[in-house]
Structures are given as C-alpha cells and as structure tokens.
Amino acid sequence: MMASDTAALPFVDRRNTARRAHIWLGALLVLVSLASLAVGASGTSLWGALMKLAQGEALTLTERVVLWDIRAPRLVMGICVGSALAVSGAVMQGLFRNPLADPGILGVTSGASLGAVTIIVLGAALPAVVQTTLGAGLLPVAAFLGAWGSMLLLYRVSTRAGRTSVATMLLAGIALGALFAAFSGVLIFLANDMQLRELTFWSLGSLAGASWLKLSVAGPVILVSVALACTLGRGLNALALGEAAAHHMGVPVERTKAVAILAVSAATGTAVAISGGIGFIGIVVPHLLRLATGPDHRGLLVNAGLLGASLLLVADMVARVVVAPAELPIGILTALLGSPVFLWILLRKRGLVDM
C-alpha cells in the first residue's frame, strides 16, 4: 500500500483537507484560465475586450479571432488534456498500487504515437478522398485509432474467462509499448527530412492545433472518461488492500478494473491524439497531491484533475511567451519540471532525502 505523510491523520481531518483542496484548486484553475485567455504573442487585451462588451460595444474582427478562435479553444484543450493525464495517472497508481505508474505504462501512448507516425510517413499513399475529407484532422484521428486499437489488444491479452489480471496487464502493456515503439522506429527510419521535423514537433507536444472542431469530437470523450474515472475512488481505496479484501468489502473488483482500464485508455489516447506527447503530468500531479492531502482516492481524483489542468495551462502560457513570437513545445517544459520531481520521488523512497 502506498505510504503518505498524511496517512496518519484522522479520517475526518483527511476528508476536510481534501474538500479544502477542492476549493483552493478550483480557484487556482479559474485564475489560471483567465490568465491563459489574457496572455499571448498578439497585443489583444482580454480586459479591454471585456470592457468593450460591458459598455455595449462590438469587438473588432481581430479581437474575436484571437480571443474566441485561438485562445479559447486552446484554453479548453489545455483543461481537457491536463485533467485527462493527471486523473489517468492517479487511477493507474491506485490500480497498480505503485506511485511511479503512469498512463504510458499500458502502451496506449505508444499506440497513439504509432498511429500518428504512420500517417505522417505514409499518409500521402491514402486515397485523395480520405485526405480531403479529414484534412488537418487526419493525424489526430490516426492517433486516436492507434490508442484505441492498443487498448482493445491489451484488454484482450490480459482478460481470461472474464477475469482481468493486473500483473498480466502490466507486463503486456510494457511489451506492447515496446512493440509499437519498434514499429514507429521502422517508419521513422523511412521518413524524409520534412517528415522527421513534423514527427519531432508532434512528439514534443503542443496545444497550438486547438480548434472548436477538434474539441467537438475529442472533448466529450475526455470529459466522460475523466468523470467515469472520478467515480472509482471507493473501489481504488479497497483495491489498495488487495483484491481479496476488496471483494469481501463488497467492491465489484473485475468491474472496477475494467472501468479503470477503459476510462484511462480513452482519456489518455484521446489526449495524446490531439496534443501529442506530454509527459510527467500523469506521474507528478497525483504524487504531489497524495503527499499534501492523503491517499484517499475519493478526493485525490478530483484534485488531480484540477491541478493537472492548471499546471498544463501554466506550461502552455510559458511556452507561448518565453521565445515569442515562436513557441516552445510543452513537452520540453513538463519534462524540465517533472524530471527533478521524479528523481526526488525516487530518492525519497530510498530514504536519501527527508522531504
């Protein structure tokens, strides 16, 4: 069972701590969202636009395009992707009873990457009607299909006679992830210079491709998956004691595992499909919250969604302004933040640091 600095607190105190965290993290997300709408390479002011609307004046075409067509969908995508990765990480850590687990452990991320690499390298061979119909949505659709294909294959391999083995799932996820990475490597070897450049930027992650059309497809899938995952708190708490104990506590163990796999795969696969590879949000956010508010998943899952969305929006703002008018891939920033925290977690578990 995962240890925590707050595990020794009385039950009521831990519930109150989690509820207070809901309020503070919710307020943080609101503030960060307003800042995300206000910050950008252009000189368009959010506050100026709000003052115009309050006085009954119409916005200029530039203000409408910048605020509504560029910054607003980017904000919504950041919330969706950040919450999906963080909640998925919390569920994986609870399911595997390991604070170092993250959504990529199931191989879903590698499956999405294989779908994206396949389209970037071999997409020109597709029929013209397919390329014309999907247009810019071709790459996220391919990544989405790759993620779901890997999820279905993983579930089929790890389920026997109606029972899903978590240990088999872990090993199969590692094996499938390595297999998909090998196929991606073959395609990367065949890619030309232009395709390699596109592959590199996609793998580093970005919210620059956000649009209302893309969100109309991916947004509902992520929101439903995250909401479904947030209902698993009681089951994950019971599974922390072992499957036999959870069964005697009245928890439907097999159904809980199946829902967790489905929700995490759908949320992670869709998030990767629309944003590319963004690492460390899924592993860092749940662990920090577990240290601050305790291991109770009933509060942890919601708080992970709020903090994950806020952190990704902050990273996106930094990415937009630090080298403006160019844009830094978000994956670089999350790696700069996540790598030291990941190392600190390892050192702390080995008792080499005190805090």
**Does the pLDDT at position 44 exceed 90?**
no
- Are 233 and 301 contacting, i.e. CB atoms less than 8 angstroms apart? yes
Q: How far is it, in rounded angstroms, from Cα 351 to Cα 198?
A: 42
Number of Cβ atoms within 10 Å of the Cβ of 90? 35
Q: Which residue in 229, 336, 235 sits closest to 286, CA to CA?
A: 229
How far apart are the two ends of the chain, measured CA to CA in Å? 20
d(CA 26, CA 302): 10
pLDDT in tens, 123-140: 777 777 777 776 666 777
Q: What is the DSSP string of 274-289?
A: HH----SHHHHHHHHH
For the chain, domain boundaries: 58-338
The distance from CA 240 to its chain's CA centroid, rounded to whole angstroms, is 23
pLDDT tens per residue across span 300-333: 999 999 999 999 999 999 888 887 777 888 888 8
Its CATH class, for the domain covering 58-338, is: mainly alpha
Q: Grade residue 13 by pLDDT with cuts at 50, 70 and 90.
A: low
